[in-house]
Amino acid sequence: MLHYVTTNPGKLREARQYLGDETITDYDYDYTEIQHASLEPIAAAGAREAYREVGEPVVVDDSGLFLDAFDGFPGPYSAYVEDTLGVETVWELAQTVEDRSAAFRCVMAYCDGGAVDDPTGPGRVDDGELPVRLFVGDVAGTIVAPRGDGGFGYDPIFEHDGSTFAERSSEAKNELSHRGRALASFAEWHDRQ
């Protein structure tokens, strides 16, 4: 069984909706997040630590919101900024600039202790540590005044195609979101194993 390791119920709901209960089981574990300017090394280190904790195949999901006018802030610090400032304050910050374009990014990292059959498959990071595979999804949008009751985190202030992510069901969000795109490329690879 594949363990989806997260402390965030919103991420888990979307992963379950996409992959199905027969593919993943949740594992609530708060792995150490290393400090880095990009999500990939954070996810890779997290997957290795999660695998050592769980002892079975794991996937972790490191994601963030990147505002163009602020050179990608909060980016890898999105969870810290949500906890300390809050989503409303990020909307207030965005109102101080004209360019409110932004992107969500999701990096999923898979680790099964190295027993991956296909050494040349997608996203493989083999840098002398436990091999991991990375599956990435991005979506562009605009920061807007909060709307909608669904989703989680920054969803109410992220608009794409006329609606915020908080105005979509998990299924409708997965059809075009950063996480949905990362899940699609992960599932495409995983189904071939």
Amino acid making up residue 131:
P
Cα-Cα-Cα-Cα dihedral sign, residues 20, 25, 126, 30: positive
163-166, long-range: CB < 8 A, 24+ apart: 165/104, 165/141
| 159 touches ligand ITT by CB under 6 A | no
Determine the 3-state secondary structure of 27 from DSSP: strand
| Interactions with ligand ITT, residue window 105-134 (CB under 6 A) | none
| 62 touches ligand ITT by CB under 6 A | yes
List 40, 49, 112, 155, residue binding ligand ITT (CB under 6 A)? 155
| 79 touches ligand ITT by CB under 6 A | yes
Known catalytic residue: 126? no
| 137 touches ligand ITT by CB under 6 A | no
Measure the CA–CA gap between 148 and 53, rounded to whole angstroms: 37
In the complex, minimum distance from the CB of residue 124 to ligand ITT, in angstroms, rounded to a whole number? 22
Residue whose CB is less far from ligand ITT, 6 or 123: 6
Catalytic residue among 62, 83, 138, 155: 62
Measure the CA–CA gap between 23 and 12, rounded to whole angstroms: 12
| 152 touches ligand ITT by CB under 6 A | yes
Q: Considering only 50-58, 59-67, 141-149, 185-193, which stretch makes contact with ligand ITT by CB under 6 A?
A: 59-67
- How many chain residues bind ligand ITT (CB under 6 A)? 22
Instruction: Note if the bond before 74 is cis, omega within 30 degrees.
Output: yes
Measure the CA–CA gap between 151 and 129, rounded to whole angstroms: 35
Cα-Cα-Cα-Cα dihedral sign, residues 16, 22, 23, 24: positive
Instruction: Note whether 165 and 177 are within 8 A (CB).
Output: yes
| 8 touches ligand ITT by CB under 6 A | yes
| Interactions with ligand ITT, residue window 16-55 (CB under 6 A) | 30, 33
| 179 touches ligand ITT by CB under 6 A | yes
- State the catalytic residues: 62
Q: Give contact residues for ligand ITT (rule: CB under 6 A).
A: 6-8, 11, 30, 33, 61-64, 78-79, 82, 104, 151-155, 165, 177, 179
